[in-house]
Structure 1
Amino acid sequence: MVATAVALTLTATGCVAGGGGTEGAGARKTELVIAVGDIAGGEFDPIKGWGTRPAQIRPIHSSLLTIDSNVTFVGDLASQYSVSKDALTWSFTLRNNARWSNGEPVQAQDVVFTYELLKKDGTRFDLSFVDKIVAVDDSRVEFRLSTPQSTFVGQLSEIPILPKAHYGKDYSSNPIGSGPYRVRNFQDGQQLILEPNPHWYGTAVKFTKLTFLFLAEDAALAAARSGSVDIAYVPPAFADQKIPGMTMKSFETVDSRGLSLPTLPAGGSGQILGKDVKVGNDVTSDRAVRQALNIGLDRKKIAELVLQGHGRPAYTLVDGLPWFNQAAAFTDGRTAEAKQLLQQAGWADSNGDGIVEKGGVKAQFTLLYPSDDKLRSDLALVVAEQARALGIGVTAKGTTWDGIYLDGKANAVTWGGGRHHAHQLYGMYSSKVIDTGYNNMAQYSNATVDKHLSAALSAKTPEEANRSWKLAQWDGTSGFAGEKGDAPIVWLVRINHMYLVRNGLDLGDQPIHAHGHEWALFNTIANWKWSR
C-alpha cells in the first residue's frame, strides 16, 4: 500500500525516479525532490500560523533578523539594527536591494503593516509589549516597547514580513514574499513546488525547482529506496538504513521530547485556539505522581530504545543552553525512591494488581501521541512499560494532532519543543498564557515561577534574563524543573534530526537545529548546492 501511494504521488507530481542512475542524476542537477513531512502548516500566512515553526518561513519569506551557523542573531532584511540602553527602542535599517517576488521594493511601511496586523490579531504572536511601530522613512523602522522584552529578538527572526499592498484574504493562494524562492504550485496535503525568486537579494540559488512531497515517514522512506527523492526525513529507529546513492545525515538539535501532564484535577474547562475543551486529570494533578515519573523513568534506557543512539537524555527543554540551570539535572531511574514517594503521598496497591491507588482513584492515565509519528509512538510505549514498574498505569493512545489539541489538557501528551531562544519557557510554564494558543497545555500555575519568568522576559540584558530563566527552573525552594520541582512537563530525550540525502548534495553550514524536523533544514535553503 505504501509503495502504491508513493507511486501515485510521484506520478501526480510528474517526478522522475532517478535511483542514482544517469537519467536521475542529470534530472537533479537543477531540481530537487524533498520529503521531510508537511511543511505548509499556516498556508504562508502568519495570521494562520506561518512562522510559528522555527525556520519555516525561510524558503519564501524574509524576516528582519535571522540566525547564522553559530546561532547568532544577524540581519536579514535589516542591514543594521540597534537597541537603546533601556531596551525600549529597537531601530532597523532595511537593505536597499530587498524586493518582493513581484519586483516591488520592500519598505519600512511593509514592516509596520506586518507587525501591526499581528499585534491586533494577538493569537499567533504576542506583541502586546510593543507600544508603537514607526516608519521613520522608506528604509528605517522603529519599534517602541512599553516594557523591555528579552525574547523579542527571537520573534524578529521568525515573523515573515508581508507586502502591505498585496496582502488580503486570498494571500494564501498567492503568497508574495522576499525570500529565495516563490510558490509555483501548492496542493494542500500533497505537495508544494517552489521556483527561484528572480528578485532575491541574496546569492542566486542553485536550483530551478524544489518539489516538497508531504509524505508520511514510512512513505518517505519508501520513496528514498525507490530513488525518487533527494532528501527524506528518517526517524531515529530507521537510521541504520543503507540506500545506494544516499548518505544518512545526523544533525544535533535543541529538539526535545517529554510528557505534558495536566496539573489540575478533572472537571475543569478551558480553551485552545478559541475552542472549549475539558481540563484536568485526577492522577497527574497529584504532584507526587509527576515527581515519581520524573525521578523514576530511566532516560538513558529510553534514549537507547527510542533513539537508537541518535540523541541523548534531557532533563529540561533547554539542557546545555546559556539559560539552563545545571541544578535541574539529576540521577534518574530511581524506581525504589519513586515508589516510596508515591507511598508517602498516600498511593498504595491495595488489591495487588501492580497499580497504586488513592481515595478510590487508580494511578492510571492516557498518554496521547500522534499516530503518524514513530518516534513519539515508540516513546509512549517505552514510558508506559517503565511507568508500570513504578505502580503507575499508562495507556498509550495514537490520534491526530487535532485530537491531541482537543483532549491534551485532560490527558498526558508526548510533547515537544526547542528553540534558539528562551521564550518557550514562558509559553510552556507561565500561568499568564493559559488558554492562549497552544501554550501551557498542563495548565500549570506557580506564583514564584511566574515571578521569575516575568523578570526574565522584561530583562534588559541577556545576562540578566538568563539568571531569571534559571531561577524559574529551580531557585532552591521552588521551580518547574529538577527532581524536587513541580514537573508539569517531564522532559526525557533530546533527539538528532536524521535525513537521507542524495550523495553530493551540500545543505550548507547548518546551525544546531530547533524543534521540528520538517523545517529545521531551511535555515540554509538559499545556500543548497551540489558539491560535485
Structure 2
Amino acid sequence: MKKVKSYLLFISIISLIVSCNNERTVAPDRAVIAISADLETINPIYSFSVDEGVIDETLFLNLIQFEWNDETGDLDAKPMLALNWQWAPDSSSIVFNLRDDALWSDGKKLTSEDIVYSFDIYSDPIVQSRYYGSFKNLYKDYEEHIDLKKTFEIQSPYKLKINFISGSTPSLLDVAFPIIPKHIYEKLDRKSISTSEINFNPISNGAYKLKRWERNQMIVLEADKKSFLYNEEMIDEIIFKIVPDYNSRVTQLKKGEVDFCELIKPADTKDFTDLKNIEIKTIKGREYDYIGLSNIDIEKYAKNQNVYPNKLFGSAKVRRALLFAINRKEILSEYLDNYGELVVTPISSIFKSYYNKELEPIEFNPETARRLLSEDGWSDIDNNGVIEKDGVEFAFTLFIPSGNPLREFAAIVIANNLKAIGIEMKTQKLELGAFVENLYTKKMDAWMASLYIPVPLDLKTIWYSDLEKTPNNFASYQNAVSDHILNLLEKKTSIQEKRGLYLKLQKNIFQDNPVIFLYWIDDIIIHNSRLKNLTINPYGALQKIWEWKIQE
C-alpha cells in the first residue's frame, strides 16, 4: 500500500512538473511598446494625446478602416464595422451594412443603435468631446448638436442610413469616428462622463481589450478572443510601458526590455546599426520645422484687428531673401544626419498624387539674398553692420520653445547666416505653454516651430486668409488666389481636378514664401526584429496592432 501511495505521489509530482512546464510553454506572447508619459484617459470622447489615440484606435473600431496607399500617397477606405456601403447618386446620403458578428468586450452585440448614439454623444455640447464641432456636413442645431431624426435612419439593427446637408460635399471622413457602447454610456449622466469610471475601465469593440492599467507604469491590453478580428497568431498581450526619460527608453530598447520605440534621435541610431536583433525604420514627410514670420503688423492688429504689412517680414521678396540666406543643408546634415529633406512647400513628396515635382528647393546663396534685400530698399546706410530701411534696422528676436536641442542648434546657424547679410537676430527661449499661447494671440514677429501635416491633406486651417476662422494661421498669411484654391478643394472634385488645384496651391505658396520652410524631419522608429508584420508608413507607426506577430 505504501508503494502504491509513493507511486501515486511520484506521478502527481511528475504531473505537476509537466503542468508547470506546459504553462511556461504557453505563456502569453507579449510585445512591449515604450511611451513617454501615462495616459489621462482611455476614452475616445476625450483622448487628445498621440498615445491615447493609438490605444483608442486599437480598442474602439470605426465603420471604416483607412489605409495608406503608397502608390497614390493617399488613403484607401476598407470595411471594418461596416461590411460595405452605398452612396446615393447625388451623395446626399449613404447606407452602411454592418457586421452582425461585432461584439463589445462584455459580450453584447454592436448594432446601428451604437453608431447613432456615438454621434449623439460626440456632438453634444454638454459632453464637450474632442470631436465637438467636427460634423459640418451633418444636420445640426444651433449648438452644433447633431439632429438625429434628420441625419440617421435605422433600417435594421445592422443597416443604417446617414443623410447629409443639402448642397454639402460629404466624404467617408464625415463618418469615420470610433464607436462607443450605448448600453454603457446611456446609464451615465452626460455632465459627469469626463470623471466616470468608464474613462479608466472601458468596454471596447476591438481586437484587444484592457487587461489592467498600472498608473505611471504600464497599460496592458489582451487579445479579445470574441472579436471578429481575433486570430490565433495574434500577440496575446500588448504592453504600453511608461518610460518618461528618453535615455532610459533607448537603453531598455538595447537590452530588449522594450520591443518598440519611436521618435529616436538621429545621433542615437549609430548605437543600433550593428545589433542583429534590431530594425530601424523611418516615416517621412509628415512633420517639418519652419521659421514663422508674421506677415502683418502684430501691434496694430492687436489694437483694432486691422491688417497692415509687417515692417520687416511683410514683403514676399524679403522672405525669399531670408530663405536664400539660411544654410538649411548644414542643419540637416550636421544635426539630423540627413534623416529628412529640405521643404519646398507644405506638401511633401509622400503625397505622390498631389506633390509638385516642378518646384525645386531654394539653395543657400547669400549673394542672391543680399541682392533681393537691396532691391527691396534695405542697405547698411550707417555702416554699423545692420541693414536698414526707412529708419528701421533689420533686427528681430526669434522665439523658440525651451528644451529643444535641434532648434537651439538651428538658431545658432541661422543667426550666423543672417549676420553675414546684415541682419541682427537674437534668440529667446520660452516655456512651451507660453510659446503656444503667444502663437495663438499673435504676440511674436518670428518663431521656430514644427507643423504636422494631417492625412488626408487639409491645408485650409493653416493657410486661409480669414484670421478669425483659421486661428492656426499663425503667420497671418493672406492671399486671394490661395483662398480661392482652398475653397475649391472643399467642393466635390475628381482626383485629377484635385491634383491640379494642389499643384497650383503649392506654386502660389512657393512664390509667396509666407514662412521660411526648413526641413522635413523623419520619425525614426526602432523595434526588435522578433516583431513581424508591422505596418509603418506615413499614416502612422502604430497601426493594426492586431496583425503583429512574434517570431523568435
Shorter-normalised TM range: 0.7 to 0.9
Partner of 2:58: 59
How has the CA–CA distance of structure 1 residues 232 and 400 changed in structure 2, closer, same or farther, with 3 Å as cutoff? Answer: farther
Report deviation, 1:134.
0.9
SS in 2 for 1:72: strand
**Structure-2 change in CA distance of 1:29 and 1:293 (3 Å):** farther
Q: 3-state SS of the aligned residue for 1:73? A: strand
Amino acid at match of 1:458: K
Q: Distance in 2 between matches of 1:448 and 1:42?
A: 43
Per the TM alignment, residue 453 of structure 1 is displaced from its structure 2 partner at its CA by: 0.5
Residue 444 of structure 1 pairs with residue 477 of structure 2 = yes
Does the 8 Å contact 1:429/1:445 carry over to 2?
yes
How far apart are 1:188 and its partner, in Å?
A: 6.7
**Offset, 1:406:** 0.6
Counterpart residue type for residue 501 of structure 2: S
Residue 190 of structure 2 is aligned to residue 165 of structure 1: no
Q: Summarize deviations over 1:85-136 as a string: whole Å, max 9, x none.
A: 4333233222222222322222223222333444455965532222353143
Q: Does 1:231 align with 2:251?
A: no
Query: d(CA) in 2 for partners of 1:353 and 1:456?
Result: 49
Give 2:206's aligned amino acid: G
RMSD: 3.6
SS in 2 for 1:267: helix
Are residue 128 (structure 1) and residue 161 (structure 2) matched?
no
Paired residue type of 1:133: T
Identity rate, percent:
18
Could you tell me which amino acid in structure 2 is paired with residue 455 of structure 1? L
Shift of 1:308: 0.8
Q: Which amino acid aligns with 1:340?
A: R
Amino acid at match of 2:44: D
1:505 CA drift (Å): 1.6
Q: Which amino acid aligns with 1:98?
A: A
What residue in structure 2 maps to residue 221 of structure 1? 250
The one-letter amino acid of 1:141's match is L
- Distance across 1 between alignment mates of 2:216 and 2:377: 49
Which aligned pairs between 1:252-263 and structure 2 lie closer than 5 A?
Answer: 252-259=283-290, 260-263=292-295
Tell me, in whole angstroms, the C-alpha distance in 2 between the residues paired with 1:155 and 1:300: 40
Deviations 1:146-166 (A, max 9, x none): 34447x444655x32222333
Distance, in Å, in 2 between the alignment partners of 1:60 and 1:324 is 34
- The partner residue of 2:465 within 427, 431, 442 is 431
- Does residue 414 of structure 1 match 2:446? no
Q: Which residue of 2 aligns with 1:453?
A: 486
**In 2, distance between residues paired with 1:202 and 1:521?**
20
Q: Which amino acid aligns with 2:237?
A: T
Q: 1:257 to 1:97 in 2, by over 3 A?
A: same
Contact 2:400-2:407 within 8 A present in 1 as well: no
> 1:508 aligned to 2:534?
yes
TM-score in terms of structure 2 length: 0.76
CA contact (8 A) 2:31 2:235 kept: no
CA distance in 1, matches of 2:452, 2:121: 26
Structure 2 gap segments, 5+ residues each: 1-23, 70-74, 140-149, 186-192, 303-307
Equivalent in the alignment of 1:495: 521
TM superposition shift of 1:69: 5.2
Q: CA deviation at 1:304?
A: 1.7
Q: Could you tell me whether the CA contact under 8 Å between 2:346 and 2:506 is conserved in 1? A: no
Question: 2:544 aligns to what?
Answer: 524
How high is the TM-score relative to the length of structure 1?
0.78
Q: Give the distance between the partners of 2:467 and 2:90, measured in 1 at CA.
A: 26
Counterpart in 2 of 1:109? Answer: 113
SS of alignment partner, residue 294 of structure 1: helix
Aligned twin of 2:67? 68
Q: Which has the larger radius of gyration?
A: 2
In the alignment, the residues of structure 2 paired with residue 300 and residue 83 of structure 1 have an alpha-carbon distance, to the nearest angstrom, of 48
Q: Distance in 2 between matches of 1:27 and 1:245?
A: 26
Structure 1 unmatched ranges of 5 or more:
1-24, 271-278, 515-519
3-state DSSP of counterpart to 2:449: strand
Look up the equivalent residue of 2:456 and give its one-letter code. Answer: H
- CA gap 1:415/1:509 in 2 versus in 1, 3 angstroms: closer
Aligned-residue offset at 1:352:
5.0
Return closer, same or farther for 1:53/1:396 CA change in 2, 3 Å cut-off: farther
Q: Is 1:30 matched up with 2:36? A: no
| CA offsets 1:241-262 (integer angstroms, 9 cap, x no match) | 2375641412242313122333
Q: Structure 1 395/79 Cα, relative in aligned 2: closer, same or farther at 3 Å?
A: farther
1:463 Cα offset (Å): 2.8
Work out whether residues 206 and 528 of structure 1, in 8 Å CA contact, stay in contact via their aligned partners in 2.
yes
Contact 1:186 1:193 in 2 (8 A): yes
Counterparts of 1:108 and 1:390, CA distance in 2 = 65
Over 3 Å counting, the alpha-carbon distance change for 1:223 and 1:27 in structure 2 is: farther
Q: Partner amino acid for 2:451?
A: G
Distance between the aligned counterparts of 2:393 and 2:409, measured in 1?
27
1:345-394, CA deviations, whole angstroms, 9 ceiling, x for partnerless residues? 333345556544444353323232362x5555555554444444444444
Deviation at 1:335, TM superposition (A): 2.2
Distance in 2 (alpha carbons) for counterparts of 1:53 and 1:293: 39
Question: Structure 1 pair 266/455, CA: closer, same or farther in 2 (3 Å)?
Answer: same
Deviations 1:392-429 (A, max 9, x none): 44445555543332122433231221233112x12211
Residue of structure 1 equivalent to 2:399: 367
**Greater relative contact order: 1 or 2 (C-alpha under 8 angstroms, separation 6 or more)?**
1
Structure 1 residues 224, 294: CA separation in 2 closer, same or farther (over 3 Å shift)?
A: same
